[in-house]
Structure 1
């Protein structure tokens, strides 16, 4: 049985849907913290069980009979995140999973300037000591871009710290790639090549695309790091979260997310979702 964790989340839910296009529902199980949110999957014949990385005892039943487990990375950072990943990996091995899949990141590195990236690197290092695994080196989620726009579509100014190019990649494309690998249609041992869109864009490029889409001039305005984080805090963002987000800009300036490649398009057998379509949707929803 193929077990998908986090199956009611933005990525996990789409992975399950694409996996059901490829294998019978009887071969798919999900591990979720709230089983009531997975009733639709149960109705399709998917095995639904409660599992929580923070509660090791819950995972034995959730992973029972697993041949493969997809560990979707935790929504936290630091030692807590790594420990949760380790707990899930250990539970998958204890359940007899022959291969553990993990949603990593193209920028996974111990020395990264963006806090989640060392967590991914540490998780991959642990995985490598436990047996056969595939680490999905996913591109940076394109859904982040609309969150970075701020009031740009209203004011005409995209205000943010200095940044660098990022190969923004859609959840839908990454979910389909994960399903292809989980179904055994393709195989990678260890970390995959970067699973990214074929182009990288900085926020200047984003502003230019928004200008074309809206017919209004959207200007890229670079502000000092401290000014930007202080603005976030004034608007209710916890200081620790603001600092973490700033790390994303520091890392992008250093080129940590600029890698592009064609492996994702090869896996899914079609072109990846262009960033422009994400921006078009954001523009439409703003009106």
Structure 2
């Protein structure tokens, strides 16, 4: 059995959907904080059990019978995520899992200024010492592009700090590739990197956006502190703004610069690019505006 945590979230849920196309439902289990929210999986024959990283006993029960466990990393900035991830790893080992897979992050190496990297580095170290086969899926940045580009459609500007090349990756592609790894015969040991095929800068994205919209989208470089101040002005908590700033700092230092071919290999096709994602976003917004 394959057990997936975080299956009511975006990445975990999409991974389960892809697994359902590859293996029988009775070979899939999910461990979720709120079992009622996973009823749509239970209705299709998936084993649903309650479990959270804060409750080791419940985790052991929800992982029972699992050959593989996919641990979707937590992202609560107020929590001790390393300890919570340790709970999940210990529970998977206790349940007899033969392999643990963990959703890590591209560039999870010492020195990366992006603070969540420290959580992933520490969790990978725990996995390495667990005595069980493990895979760290170092996923490329797959959050909404507007989260890093800002309100460029309204302003006509990508006004952000100095950046660097990043292979912005589609979450749906990551989920599909994760299911391919879980359901396949090929083993991946240790860290593997899953990214879109090309790394782009904000200068590149401004050119892409200009071509797609027929408008001139400008790239404006903001001083770090100026950007933080502007974020606070629009209501972003300072702590969150400074956390996001470390992401730009990591990008400009080259920690996300390398695109990896493995994602394309697993999918059997080219993953979606930043251009594809921007085009889809623009088309979706245009439809929304037309509907209103």
Q: Shorter-chain TM-score: what band? A: over 0.9
3-state SS of 2:277 partner = helix
Match of 1:12 in 2: 12
Q: Distance in 2 between matches of 1:244 and 1:76?
A: 12
| Equivalent in the alignment of 1:269 | 268
- Aligned counterpart, 1:133: 134
> Which residue of 2 is the match for residue 248 of structure 1?
247
1:90-105 alignment runs, 5 A limit: 90-105=90-105
Structure 1 distance, partners of 2:119, 2:187, is: 24
Cα distance in 2 for partners of 1:125, 1:286 equals 42
For the residues of structure 1 that align with 2:151 and 2:79, how far apart are their CA atoms? 34
Q: Is the 1:146–1:279 contact (alpha carbons within 8 Å) kept by the matching residues of 2?
A: no
Shift of 1:77: 4.3
- Do 2:197 and 2:273's aligned partners in 1 also have CA atoms closer than 8 Å? no
Q: SS state of the match for residue 194, structure 2?
A: coil
Once the two structures are TM-superposed, the CA of residue 233 in structure 1 deviates from its matched residue by 1.3
| Unaligned 5+ runs, structure 2 | 287-292
CA contact (8 A) 1:77 1:115 kept: no
- Matched residues in 2 for 1:158 and 1:54: separation? 40
Cα offset, 1:110, TM superposition: 2.6
Aligned to 1:184: 184
Query: Counterpart in 2 of 1:281?
Result: 280
Q: What does 1:70-219 align with in structure 2 at a 5 Å threshold?
A: 70-77=70-77, 80-130=80-130, 131-141=132-142, 143-192=143-192, 194-219=193-218
Unaligned 5+ runs, structure 1: none
Offset from partner CA, 1:154-184 (integer Å, 9 cap, x none)? 1211110010000111111111111111113
How many Å apart are 1:212 and its aligned residue? 0.6
Partners of 2:180 and 2:251 in 1: CA distance: 29
CA distance in 2, matches of 1:138, 1:82: 18
1:203 CA displacement = 1.0
Q: Distance in 1 between matches of 2:184 and 2:152?
A: 43
Q: In the TM superposition, what is the alpha-carbon distance from 1:92 to its structure 2 partner?
A: 0.5
CA distance in 1, matches of 2:211, 2:274: 13
Residue 65 of structure 1: how far off its partner (Å): 1.2
Q: Distance in 1 between matches of 2:34 and 2:110?
A: 33
Give the 3-state SS of the residue equivalent to 1:137 in structure 2: strand
1:79, distance to aligned residue in structure 2 (A): 7.0
Normalized against structure 2, the TM-score is what? 0.94
- The residue aligned with 1:31 is 31
Q: Secondary structure at the match of 1:179?
A: helix
